[in-house]
A and B are shown apart, each in its own frame.
Chain A
Amino acid sequence: MLDKVTKQKLVVIGNGMAGIRTVEALLERAPDLYDITVFGSEPYGNYNRILLSPVLAGEKTVDDIMLNTVDWYEDNNITLRKGETITMIDRRTCEVVTEAGERVPYDRLLIATGSNPIMLPLPGKDLPGVIGFRDIYDVDRMIKASTDYRNAVVIGGGLLGLEAANGLMKRGMNVTVVHLLDTLMERQLDPVAGGLLRKSLEERGMVFKMPAQTQAILGEDRVTGVRFGDGTELPADLVVMAVGIRPNFELAKKAGLYCERGIVVSDTMQTYDGRIYAVGECVQHRRQTYGLVAPLFDQAKVCANHLAMKGFATYDGSVTSTKLKVTGIDLFSAGDFAPGPDKEEIVLQDANRGVYKRIILKDKKIVGAVLYGDTIDGPWYFQHLRDGTDVSHMRERLVFGAANLGDGGVSGQSSVAAMSDETEICGCNGVCKGAIVKAISEKKLFTLDDVRAHTKASSSCGSCTGLVEQVLAFTLGGDYSAAPKVKPLCKCTDHSHDDVRRVIVEQQLKTIPAVMRFMEWKTLNGCHSCRPALNYYLLATWPGEYRDDQQSRFINERVHANIQKDGTYSVVPRMWGGVTTPSELRAIADVAEKFNIPTVKVTGGQRIDLLGVKKEDLPAVWADLNDAGMVSGHAYAKGLRTVKTCVGSEWCRFGTQDSTGLGVKLEKFMWGSWTPAKVKLGVSGCPRNCAEATCKDVGVVCVDSGYEIHFAGAAGLHIKGTEFLTKVETEDECLEVIVALTQLYREEGWYLERMYKWCDRVGLEQIRKRVVDDVANRKALFARFGYSQQFAQTDPWAERASRGVDRNEFAPLAELELA
């Protein structure tokens, strides 16, 4: 902690969703830059305010909605001063002042004070029993009141009011919602949708008094009733005011910061005092204030970037969409739907099904959408709204949604919304969309991990993770984006991949038990997620020193073959650069016949796959292949897999360089290396690109003047073209850059994170700087890779076929017969 003295001090006022999301994003980008202190009036860690409604409705507990527990602050060296309110900012001395009068200095200050519920200035507003709906304290009081009293009045028929009313009703109270206007949620709904909503809430027992103006709150020691403008009265033991929120900027204003309806900030989330930033509901950006989390999280990201001194991001404002969180009611609204002369609307109303849809167009684009009863296409409309898509070509059928347009390809999001319940989402585990949606709604799942655990979707290859996330997003609406960002490695620990990798190096940890002990793993031997990850991290960090732990390897890597659904294995011998010989083919044919191997298939990576080999036959199969000069193709490995090539200048009339030869050279140099996830290469002899190099993890496209190196492509469930890294003139340079790139990925990638995801996370420029621009660093990376290859390049098949390594693995322990 010595360096604390020299670190800059960041003080955060407001321990809420926007402030802490900013801190999390800052820690991701620059973990050690600041000494951080957070002040929060509430006596808790940071919790998911959105989910107060399900807590009130008894569908969740306060523990369920904690996002950052007190331990989290400690683990990240953040000083949390919960239950302490800041009463003044002294900009002259750069200090904040607490309620108790303590002065705390800052170098940078972040104001994230959120907002306060508006309490109408009515007679009786201060009586006990009159409350807002903003925090845990309010919810506690409402729950208490629901056990002691019968009658509740909720003032305000907006999103918040209806969620409060629904919760109180679920808790057994008689609830009347009082609304000034004659349409519920008038800011999100038009009168028709508002009417449908009112009808279905009434069917559930909610009572409405609208339009009605509240005139006074009655009572002496406690509220007893409410009186309205027309003179009528209603008995009430509890009055919840949910008429709106007011950005909480008094503190900033007193400090002389420029405020209008909120604290005015620039596109970098700075106030008029450049040392002071503000995010969340308390700010006003380009004349807008926001009351939903999605835009606040966008702000948080930009603010964190700037605080991390990576000041390239700017915030341009957000368009928002809304979903009402009342279980059983489907409602979606986005954009601007007030009628106007220059607007057109398309309406669909199906009274029998209780469905209503209204799409508002302006200049051939969607500017607003209101959906009731069938909200499945909400995200799809919202996507077009945000993208400003010209929708004139699909105008006639627009209102029927994405499915009816066959418009699946615009983005993943749209395709998910459009999918039928029978559509398979996870090909590996055969899980269809309906099953995921059902699990999410019935079992109240909120995170990807939950969905994985309950449905198995995305728990294997993980390539459908994006789709599953989208299913989550559209099933839960606004709730989903609230998942915390810094992900622990797995459920056995709170530490992230980066933490673990860093600590392994810093503390010189060299065995899995040592890591688990030092980092205080929560389980005895970890699990199937963290053990393979730790094994890889140790192997990559301590080449030659760390002893590979076979029991922490997934079966495929333990037995050097791919397990199949019936428990047999597949065997893929290496064919350097996809080139083979008649004698190799003959040997493969012989092996297939000798061991009755049922299927022989050519793979996508230019190799031959022998499928259906029995486990106990593996060593003998390998021995025969070894005898013919073939070694393991590592088709099972989180490591270098195949280098696919085309015939190049040796044969092809278009070829510019010897792509086949370069592919073979790369493969011979790199085979056997373990990487965070599989690595596939491709080398094409000219830009016609017959080896499909530009959708590989690393691809080379030969041109007359040299070699273009591309990387970070993918061609699985996600299809992504590569990024151009650099161009070099010689084969040797080409090899050096590719090896250095792979080594950087080996040192920094998270286990199971493909190269393209790593690139997304770290940034192309960062990678190029260290692999291409910084030549000394490139050479050092290259040398480290070479060093580690000494220990990696032994054929695992030969070890097992002839040297008896792991003999036990392949033979049964005993054979029992019937008596």
Chain B
Amino acid sequence: MTQWIEIGALTDIPRLGSRVVRTPGGNIAVFRTESDEVFALDDRCPHKGGPLSQGIVHNKRVTCPLHNFVIELASGQAVAPDEGCTHTHPAKVENGVVWLSVRQAAAVS
């Protein structure tokens, strides 16, 4: 069952940018695209654990700041020729509010 948690306003995340959500299981990066879609990924690059939240967002992808892996926001998959996958979490926007469903972890503070 999906349990949705309210994490903030859409406008708190810059367009083509990202913010971090702290969880006991590690940081989750929440991204906002140019067309105001949101995506959530573990904030760990499949390459060497770089913080994806700090990368440059383009279309529905983010480039890791450490060594430029490009990750698909929707699937967490590294764009070829790179290989690897980052864990994704369901995220959505309703009436300007961003909701996140943390897989495996739960509950709000």
Contacts and interface: CB of A to CB of B under 8 A. Distances in A.
Interface in B42-84: 48-51, 54-59, 63, 65-68, 70, 81-82
Given A550-B14, A551-B16, A814 B67 contact: no
B19 A812 contact: yes
| Highest count of chain B CB atoms <10 Å: which of A453, A531, A812 | A812
Interface string B9-26: 000111111011111100
Interface in A423-466: 428-429, 443, 453-454, 456, 459-460
B102 interface: yes
B107 A816 contact: yes
A563 interface: yes
- The dominant DSSP class at the B interface is loop
Q: Is the interface of A mostly helix, strand, loop or mixed?
A: loop
A532 B21 contact: no
Contact of A429 (B8, B27, B67, B106): B67
Contact of A459 (B14, B57, B68, B105): B68
B93 interface: no
A480 B8 CA distance: 52
Contact of A815 (B17, B48, B106, B109): B109
Contacts, number: 114
A670 B3 CA distance: 54
A567 B68 contact: no
B7 A551 contact: no
A232 B59 CA distance: 67
Interface string B24-36: 1001001000100
A814 B22 contact: yes
Contacts of B1: none
Interface stretch (A149-157, A521-529, A687-695): A521-529
Given A528-B55, A554-B56, A812 B14 contact: no
B56 A531 contact: yes
Nearest to B21: A814
Q: How many of chain A's residues touch chain B, expressed as a range? A: 35 or more
A817 interface: yes
Given A443-B81, A555-B55, A808-B19, A818 B34 contact: no
B7 A567 contact: no
Contacts of A818: 24, 105-107
A416 to B, nearest CB: 22
Interface residues on B, range: 35 or more
A552 interface: yes
A818 B107 CA distance: 6
A563 B65 CA distance: 8
B56 A456 contact: no
B5 interface: yes
Nearest to A616: B20
Nearest to A527: B58
Contacts of A567: 49-51, 54
A158 B30 CA distance: 61
Interface string A545-560: 0000011111100110
Nearest to B109: A817
A734 B30 CA distance: 50
Nearest to B51: A567
A563 B63 CA distance: 14
A525 B34 contact: yes
A819 B66 contact: no
- Specify which of A525, A554, A808 lies most central, judged by the most chain B CB atoms within 10 Å of its CB: A525
Contact of A456 (B17, B49, B68): B68
A523 B59 contact: yes
Contact of B22 (A453, A552, A815): A815
B21 A531 contact: no
A813 interface: yes
B58 A816 contact: no
Nearest to A452: B68
24 contacts: A459-B67, A460-B67, A524-B34, A527-B63, A528-B56, A528-B63, A528-B70, A531-B58, A550-B17, A551-B56, A555-B56, A559-B54, A567-B49, A812-B20, A813-B8, A813-B13, A813-B19, A815-B22, A816-B7, A816-B24, A816-B105, A816-B108, A817-B23, A817-B109
| The 8 A-B residue pairs with the shortest CB-CB distance in the complex, in nearest-first order | A819-B107, A813-B19, A528-B63, A815-B22, A814-B7, A524-B59, A525-B58, A555-B54
